[in-house]
C-alpha cells in the first residue's frame, strides 16, 4: 500500500498531460493539417506560394514543441531533421517561390504532415486512453454516491455494468477501482507510447540522420574554428587594453621611483603605493580573464558546483538541482558551463524573472540541462541572439538546444550533450 501514494502523482500528471494533448494538441494538429493541405493545393493559383512557408513554419514549431514535451515529460528524444534554409534567399515573390520549393523538397516536411495525420487519429487515441485510465474511475465514485438515481428509468452503462440501483452502482464502483489500479500502472506507459509513435514519424530515417549529422558536424567544425579565433582575439584585446597596459605603466613608475628614491623619498613612497595598487588591479584583471577562459571552480570541483557558484551571483532567486554521478571531459564541462552562463545572462537581461531554476542530470549517455524562469517569455532562436550562440557552442559537441517560451512565460531552455561520465 505504501507504493500507491508514490504512483498516484505521476499517474495523475500523465493523465492531465494526456487530456491536454487530446484537446489542445489535437486541435492544433487538425488546424495545421487542414491549413497545410489547402495552402499546398493553392500553390498553382499563386496564393499558396505566400502562405505555404508561413503554414509549414507553424507546423515545424508545433512539431518542435512536441519534441520538447517528449524529452521533458517522458524522456523520449526526437531528433530535429530539418535542413536549414539559405540565409541569402532573395526578397519578394522570387524569394517566396524559392523558399516554398526548398520546404517542399525537404523530406522532413512530408514526414511532419504524415505525423499530423497520425496525431489526429492514433496519437489522439493514446492520449485519451492515458487520460481516461485515471479520470474515468472518478465517474464510478460519483455514481455510487447517488447519481445512479437519475438513471432509474433507463440504465446508465458504466463500462459493461448497467447502473440503475445502488447495487449496480457499487458494482460500477468496483469496476472503477479496478480501472484505477490499471491506470496507476498504465497511464505513464501509454503516454510514453504516444511520444514513441510521434518519434517513428518525426525522427529522420537512419540514412538521413547520418547525413544530417555529417552536415551538422561539418558546419559546427567551421563555427568552432571561428569561435576559437574570436575568443583568441578577445583574450589578446583584453590583455592589451587591460593587464598589459597596467604592467607597462607600473614598469615606468618603478623606473621613476628608482630615480627619486634618493632625491625625494617621500614622492618615491607615494609612487610605490600607486604602483602597488596598479599591480593589484592588474592581478585582478588577469584573474577575471582566466576565470572567463576556464573558471577555477569548474576545474577543481566540477560542473555542478561551478553552476551553483554561478547561480549565487545572480540578482534573482535561484535554485540548482544536480544529479551527476561523475564528471564529463573538460571540454564538455566547459561548453556546458558557458552555455548555462549565457542562458542565465539572457534571463537576467531580458526575462524580467523573479526566480530561475537550473536542473543538471545525466541519463542514457546524455548530459541534460534545463534553465527555467518565470519571466515574461517570448525568447526565440533568432540569428545573432545569445541563444543562437549557445546552439553553436553545443553543436561543436553534437549537442542540441530547444526553447519553449510562450508569451507571458515561463521560459524553458533545454540543452543536451552526448557524453560519458567518469
Q: What is the pLDDT of residues 248-296, one digit of tens each?
A: 777 777 777 777 777 777 777 777 777 777 777 667 666 655 555 556 7
Position 233 scores a pLDDT of 66
Which residues of the chain have a pLDDT value below 70?
1-6, 86-94, 146-153, 158, 164, 205-246, 281-282, 284-295, 381-386
**Contacts made by residues 346-350, CB under 8 angstroms, sequence distance 24+:** 346/379, 346/386, 346/387, 347/316, 347/371, 347/373, 347/375, 347/411, 348/314, 348/315, 348/316, 350/375, 350/379
Tell me phi and psi for residue 74, to 5 degrees. Answer: -130, 10
For 358, phi then psi, to 5°, come to -115, 130
Q: Are strands 317-323 and 355-363 parallel, antiparallel or unpaired?
A: parallel
Per-residue pLDDT at 294:
58
d(CA 218, CA 175): 59
Backbone angles phi, psi at 200, to 5 degrees: -60, -25
Residue with grid cell 512557408, as numbered in its chain: 53
Q: Which residue has 567544425 as its cell numbers?
A: 221
Residues in the chain: 422
| Extended beta strands in 164-241, E state | none
Q: Residue 38: what pLDDT?
A: 93
CA angle 99, 215, 92 (to 5 degrees): 15
Cα separation, 132 vs 325, in Å, equals: 38
Query: Which three-class secondary structure state does DSSP give residue 350?
Result: helix
Whether 123 contacts 194, CB under 8 Å: yes
Q: How far apart are CA 362 and CA 325, in angstroms?
A: 8
The confidence score (pLDDT) of residue 382 equals 63
Residue 205 gets which letter from DSSP?
A: P
Q: How far apart are the first and last CA of the chain?
A: 38
Amino acid at each position: 500500500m505504501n507504493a500507491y501514494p508514490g504512483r498516484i502523482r505521476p499517474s495523475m500528471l500523465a493523465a492531465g498531460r494526456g487530456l491536454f494533448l487530446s484537446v489542445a494538441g489535437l486541435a492544433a494538429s487538425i488546424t495545421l493539417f487542414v491549413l497545410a493541405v489547402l495552402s499546398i493545393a493553392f500553390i498553382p493559383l499563386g496564393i499558396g506560394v505566400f502562405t505555404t512557408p508561413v503554414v509549414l513554419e507553424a507546423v515545424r514549431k508545433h512539431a518542435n514543441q512536441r519534441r520538447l514535451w517528449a524529452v521533458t515529460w517522458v524522456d523520449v528524444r526526437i531528433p530535429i531533421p530539418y535542413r536549414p534554409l539559405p540565409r541569402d534567399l532573395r526578397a519578394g515573390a522570387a524569394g517566396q517561390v524559392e523558399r516554398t520549393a526548398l520546404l517542399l523538397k525537404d523530406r522532413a516536411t512530408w514526414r511532419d504532415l504524415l505525423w499530423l495525420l497520425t496525431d489526429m487519429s492514433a496519437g489522439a487515441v493514446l492520449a485519451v486512453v492515458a487520460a481516461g485510465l485515471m479520470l474515468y474511475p472518478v465517474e464510478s465514485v460519483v455514481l455510487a454516491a447517488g447519481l445512479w438515481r437519475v438513471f432509474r428509468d433507463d440504465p446508465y452503462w458504466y463500462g459493461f455494468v448497467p447502473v440503475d440501483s445502488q447495487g449496480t452502482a457499487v458494482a460500477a464502483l468496483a469496476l472503477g477501482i479496478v480501472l484505477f489500479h490499471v491506470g496507476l500502472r498504465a497511464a505513464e506507459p501509454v503516454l510514453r507510447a504516444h511520444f514513441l509513435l510521434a518519434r517513428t514519424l518525426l525522427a529522420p530515417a537512419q540514412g538521413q540522420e547520418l547525413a544530417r549529422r555529417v552536415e551538422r558536424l561539418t558546419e559546427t567544425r567551421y563555427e568552432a574554428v571561428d569561435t576559437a579565433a574570436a575568443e583568441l582575439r578577445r583574450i589578446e584585446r583584453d590583455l592589451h587594453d587591460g593587464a598589459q597596459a597596467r604592467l607597462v605603466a607600473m614598469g615606468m613608475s618603478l623606473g621613476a621611483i628608482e630615480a627619486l628614491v634618493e632625491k625625494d623619498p617621500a614622492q618615491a613612497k607615494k609612487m610605490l603605493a600607486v604602483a602597488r595598487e596598479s599591480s593589484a588591479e592588474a592581478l585582478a584583471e588577469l584573474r577575471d580573464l582566466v576565470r572567463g577562459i576556464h573558471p577555477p571552480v569548474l576545474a577543481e570541483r566540477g560542473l555542478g558546483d561551478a553552476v551553483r557558484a554561478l547561480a549565487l551571483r545572480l540578482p534573482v532567486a535561484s535554485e540548482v538541482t544536480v544529479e551527476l554521478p561523475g564528471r564529463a571531459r573538460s571540454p564538455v564541462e566547459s561548453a556546458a558551463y558557458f552555455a548555462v552562463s549565457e542562458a542565465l545572462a539572457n534571463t537576467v537581461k531580458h526575462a524580467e524573472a523573479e526566480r530561475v531554476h537550473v536542473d543538471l542530470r545525466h541519463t542514457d549517455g546524455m548530459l541534460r540541462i534545463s534553465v527555467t524562469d518565470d519571466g515574461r517569455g517570448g525568447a526565440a532562436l533568432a540569428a545573432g541572439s545569445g541563444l543562437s550562440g549557445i546552439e553553436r557552442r553545443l553543436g561543436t559537441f553534437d549537442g542540441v538546444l530547444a526553447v519553449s517560451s510562450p508569451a507571458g512565460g515561463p521560459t524553458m531552455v533545454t540543452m543536451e550533450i552526448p557524453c560519458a561520465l567518469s
